[in-house]
Amino acid sequence: MLVVHSNPVVEPGVGDAGGMTVYVRQMARSLAARGLDVDIYTRRDSAETPDVTSLFPGVVVRQIPAGAPGLSKGEIPAYLPEFTANLLHEVEALGVRYDLIHSHYWLSGRVASILSARWGIPFVHTFHTLGRVKNEGRANGEPVEPDCRLRGEARVIAEANAIVASAPDEREWLIDLYAAHPERIHVIPPGVDHSTFRPGDRKAAKVALASSGALSGGLSGKRVLLFVGRLQPLKGADTAIEALGHLIAWGRLRKEEAVLVIVGGASGVAGASEPARLQRLAEDLGLADVVRFVAAQPQNELPGYYQAADVCLVPSHAESFGLVALEAQACGTPVVAAGVGGLRSIVRHGQTGFLVQPGASAAFAERVWRILSDQPLAANMGRLAVCGSSDFSWERSADELIDLYTHSVRQLAEASEVQRGVVAGAGRNFTAREEISGHTLDAPGVG
Ligand code: UDP
C-alpha cells in the first residue's frame, strides 16, 4: 500500500491522522489475516520513527525519506519525485516484487501511477477525500483546494486500474465531477471493529468516564452530547456548540444538566486555529463551562466516550464516509449527522439517528432534543444503530477488496497477453500473465 502523507504508525485523531489512517491500518490487518503480505510505504515525517515497523502480523510499514518532517499536505507534491525515486531504490535493494499497489489519497495515486507502469502491475486507488467535493462543501475558514490537486486527482482517475469509493455518493461525485468511467469504480465501504466498538451500559460508562479524570467535573445527571474528530472547519464542531447553545437558550436543557464533549486535536493548516476558535465560540455563547475539550484519544479509549454519550453529533460539511458515525452507532449511540456523502449511507434517518442540513445548528438542536426528550425512541434508535452497524466490518471489506485485487491482476494480465504479453516498463519487461498469475491470483501481495 502507498500512503504518502498521514503516517500509519501515528495514532489517529490529530494532525493528518484520521479516518484514512484507521482505514489503512484496519484494512491492512484484515488483508494480512487473509494471507496477503502487506507492505505499506509512507513518507518519513519524524526522525524518531524506525525505518521499518511491524504493525500487525503480515503488515510492515516502511518510512521513505523525502523532504523534511512536518511538511504540510500542500508542500508534499514538490517532493513526490524524490519520494518515488527513494521508494524505487528501497524496493530494488530489498529485491521484493509486488503484485498490486493500493494507493490512498491523490498524492499516493500519483506515485502509484508511475510505479505501476514501471513494474507492470495494476494499481487500485482510494481517494478518501476529493478536492472538488471539499471545495463545494467548503466551510468558512477552509482554504480552496489547489488546482494541482484537482489536476492530480483527474490523472489518478484516468490512470488507475480500479477506484474504490467508500459510499455510493462518492461514486456519483467521481462520475459527475470528474467524468470517471463508471465501470472502473467499485463501492467498498470501510468497516468498524466490533470487538472494540460495542454497546455498553450508558450510566456505567458515564461514571467510568467521569472517574477516569479525562473530563474535568462529573457527568452525573447530565445529558452528554459528543463530537469526535480532527478539529478543522470542515468537521463543523462549531455547529455542535451552537446546537447546544440553542437547546439552552430555548430552555430545553439547563446548563447544569448538559455537557458537550469534543474529542480531537487540531488538523491541517486550516485547523491550526480551530481549537482556539471553538473555545472562543463556546465562551461567546456563555457555554465555556458546558463544552469540554478533550485531547485526541487512542481508538481503544473512544468506546468509553461513545457509550457514555446520549447522542453523537457528526456535523461535517463534507464527508466521504464518516467512521465516527459508524463507531458511535456500533456502540449503540444514536447519531445526528449532516446529510452529506457517506454519512447518508451510515445513518438511517429516523431509525438510527437523524440527518440534517450541514451547518443548520437549530435543526441539529431540534433533532438532538427529539432524541433526548423521548427515552423509548432513544433506546430503540440505539438498538437499531447497533443492528445497522453490523452491515459493516473490516473483514467483509477486505474480502471485497481481495476480489477486486484479483480481478485487477487478472484483467491486466489478460490485457497484456492481448498485447503479445509484454508490459512496457523502464525497469522490467515480462510476460504478464505467467509472471503475475503464477503467484498472485489467489493471494496477491500488496505493495
Ligand atoms: N479518532 C481517534 N481518536 C480521536 C479522534 C478520532 O482515534 O481522538 C479516529 C476515529 O475513531 C475515526 C477516525 O479517527 O476512526 C476519524 O474518521 P472519520 O472518517 O470520522 O473522519 P476523517 O478523519 O476521515 O475525516
Q: Which domain holds residue 311?
A: 202-389
CA distance 93 to 87: 10
Instruction: Assess whether 116 and 246 both reside in one domain.
Output: no
Q: What pLDDT does residue 444 have?
A: 53
Q: How far is CA 19 from CA 63, 99, 181, 279, 339, in A?
A: 20, 26, 26, 24, 18
Instruction: Assess whether 322 and 425 both reside in one domain.
Output: no
Instruction: Assess whether 377 and 429 both reside in one domain.
Output: no
Structural contact between residues 311 and 354, judged by C-beta atoms closer than 8 angstroms: no
Ligand 1 center from residue 91 Cα (angstroms): 31
Ligand 1 and 323: CB distance under 6 A? yes
Ligand 1 and 229: CB distance under 6 A? yes
Kindly report the CATH number assigned to the domain that includes residue 183: 3.40.50.2000
Instruction: Assess whether 112 and 237 both reside in one domain.
Output: no
Closest CA to 7 of 30, 24, 26: 24
Helix 19-33, helix 323-330: angle, nearest 10: 70
Q: What pLDDT does residue 138 have?
A: 80
Q: What pLDDT does residue 435 have?
A: 33
Residue 25 belongs to some domain of the structure: yes
Threshold 0.85, pTM exceeds: yes
- Other beta carbons within 10 Å of 127: 27
Structural contact between residues 414 and 5, judged by C-beta atoms closer than 8 angstroms: no
Residue 35 burial class via C-beta count within 10 angstroms: exposed 0-12, middle 13-18, buried 19 and up: exposed
Instruction: Assess whether 123 and 228 both reside in one domain.
Output: no
Instruction: Assess whether 424 and 305 both reside in one domain.
Output: no
Instruction: Assess whether 59 and 73 both reside in one domain.
Output: yes
Domain count, the chain: 2
Residue 373 belongs to some domain of the structure: yes
Residue 65 belongs to some domain of the structure: yes
Closest CA to 444 of 408, 396, 392, 400: 408
Residue 4 belongs to some domain of the structure: no
Instruction: Assess whether 97 and 237 both reside in one domain.
Output: no
Residue 196 belongs to some domain of the structure: no
CA 417 to chain centroid, in Å, comes to 37
Residue 197 belongs to some domain of the structure: no
Reading the block at residue 21, the C-alpha cell is 489512517
Instruction: Assess whether 81 and 206 both reside in one domain.
Output: no
Ligand 1 center from residue 298 Cα (angstroms): 10
Ligand 1 and 321: CB distance under 6 A? yes
Please give the DSSP secondary-structure letter assigned to residue 128. Answer: S
Ligand 1 and 228: CB distance under 6 A? yes
Pocket mutation for ligand 1, best pick of 73, 230, 232, 320 (most atoms within 8 Å of C-beta):
230
Ligand 1 and 66: CB distance under 6 A? no
Instruction: Assess whether 382 and 398 both reside in one domain.
Output: no
Instruction: Assess whether 178 and 34 both reside in one domain.
Output: yes
Ligand 1 center from residue 2 Cα (angstroms): 20
Q: What pLDDT does residue 440 have?
A: 31
Cβ-based neighbours of 147, under 8 Å, separated by 6 or more: none
pLDDT truncated to tens, each residue of the chain (447 aa)? 999 998 999 888 767 789 999 999 999 999 999 999 999 999 999 999 999 999 999 999 999 999 998 898 889 999 999 999 999 999 999 999 999 999 999 999 999 999 999 999 999 999 999 999 999 888 777 789 999 999 999 999 999 999 999 999 999 999 999 999 999 999 999 999 999 999 999 999 999 999 888 787 778 889 999 999 999 999 999 999 999 999 999 999 999 999 999 999 998 777 889 999 999 999 999 999 999 999 999 999 999 999 999 999 999 999 999 999 999 999 999 999 999 999 999 999 999 999 999 999 999 999 999 999 999 999 999 999 999 999 999 999 999 999 999 999 999 998 888 875 544 443 333 333 333 233 333 345 777
Ligand 1 center from residue 14 Cα (angstroms): 8
Structural contact between residues 229 and 264, judged by C-beta atoms closer than 8 angstroms: yes
| Residue whose entry in the numeric block shows the C-alpha cell 443548520 | 360
| Residue whose entry in the numeric block shows the C-alpha cell 438511517 | 348
Reading the block at residue 141, the C-alpha cell is 475558514
Q: What amino acid is encoded at 417 in this protein? A: E
Task: Give every strand in the sheet of 162-165, ordered side by side.
Answer: 101-104, 123-126, 162-165, 185-187
Alpha helices in 179-310 (DSSP H): 202-211, 237-249, 268-271, 274-284, 302-308
Residue 8 belongs to some domain of the structure: no
Residue 230 belongs to some domain of the structure: yes
